[in-house]
Amino acid sequence: MRIESLFDQQTQQIKIAVDCIIFGFNNNRLECLLIHREAEPQKGKWSLIGGFIGNDEDLDEAANRVLYNLSGLENVYMEQVKAFGKANRDPRGRTISITYTALILRSEYDDDKIKDHGAKWFPVNDLPELAFDHIDMVEAAIIRLRRRVRNTPIALNLIPEKFTIPQLQALYEGILDEPLDKRNFRRKIAQIEAIVKLGEKDMTASRRGAFLYAFDENLYNNTQYFNL
Amino acid sequence: MRIESLFDQQTQQIKIAVDCIIFGFNNNRLECLLIHREAEPQKGKWSLIGGFIGNDEDLDEAANRVLYNLSGLENVYMEQVKAFGKANRDPRGRTISITYTALILRSEYDDDKIKDHGAKWFPVNDLPELAFDHIDMVEAAIIRLRRRVRNTPIALNLIPEKFTIPQLQALYEGILDEPLDKRNFRRKIAQIEAIVKLGEKDMTASRRGAFLYAFDENLYNNTQYFNL
* A4: contact with B, CB 8 A cutoff: yes
**Confidence bin at A137 (pLDDT 50/70/90):** very high
User: A127: distance to nearest CA of chain B, Å?
Assistant: 20
User: Is the same domain home to B54 and B137?
Assistant: yes
* A69: contact with B, CB 8 A cutoff: yes
User: Is the same domain home to B164 and B110?
Assistant: no
Residues in contact with A187: Cβ distance below 8 Å, sequence separation at least 6, in sequence order: none
Of A148, A164, A194, the one marking the end of a domain is A148
A66: in domain: yes
Contact between chains at A226 and B94 (C-beta distance less than 8 A) = no
CA-CA distance, A88 to A85, in Å (whole number)?
8
In 3-state terms, what secondary structure has residue B183? helix
Residues of A in contact with B85 (CB under 8 A): 53, 58-60, 62, 98
User: Is the same domain home to A191 and A139?
Assistant: no
User: Is the same domain home to B135 and B100?
Assistant: yes
**Confidence bin at A20 (pLDDT 50/70/90):** very high
B1: in domain: no
* CATH, residue B16: 3.90.79.10
CA-CA distance, A63 to B60, in Å (whole number)?
22
Number of domains forming the structure of chain B: 2
User: Is the same domain home to A29 and A128?
Assistant: yes
Give the residue numbers spanning the domain of A164. Answer: 154-223
pLDDT in tens, B168-182: 999 999 999 999 999
User: Is the same domain home to A165 and A196?
Assistant: yes
A1: in domain: no
Give which of A33, A7, A198, A30 is closest to B39, Cα–Cα.
A7
Closest CA in chain A for residue B70? A2
Of A148, A181, A199, the one marking the end of a domain is A148
User: Is the same domain home to A60 and A104?
Assistant: yes
User: Is the same domain home to A87 and A126?
Assistant: yes
User: Is the same domain home to B111 and B194?
Assistant: no
Contacts with B, A 96-135, CB within 8 Å: 96, 98
User: Is the same domain home to B65 and B113?
Assistant: yes
Of B117, B148, B179, the one marking the end of a domain is B148
Beta bridge partners of A97: A17, A84
CA-CA distance, A131 to A31, in Å (whole number)?
18
Cis-peptide, bond into residue A41, ω within 30° of zero: yes
pTM of the predicted protein model: 0.89
Pairing status of strand B79-84 against strand B15-26: unpaired
For residue B142, the surrounding DSSP H or E stretch is helix B134-151
Mutual angle of helices A165-176 and A134-151, in 10-degree steps:
150
* CA-CA-CA-CA torsion sign (B172, B177, B182, B183): negative
User: Is the same domain home to A89 and A164?
Assistant: no
* CATH, residue A193: 1.10.10.10
Query: Out of B12, B153, B185, whose CB is closest to A15?
Result: B12
> What is chain B's pLDDT, residue by residue, as a tens digit (228 residues)?
344 444 544 589 999 999 999 999 999 999 999 999 988 888 999 999 999 999 999 999 999 999 999 999 999 999 999 999 999 998 888 999 999 999 999 999 999 999 999 999 999 999 999 999 999 999 999 999 999 998 889 999 999 999 999 999 999 999 999 999 999 999 999 989 999 999 999 999 889 999 999 999 999 888 776 666
pLDDT in tens, A73-110: 999 999 999 999 999 998 888 999 999 999 999 999 99
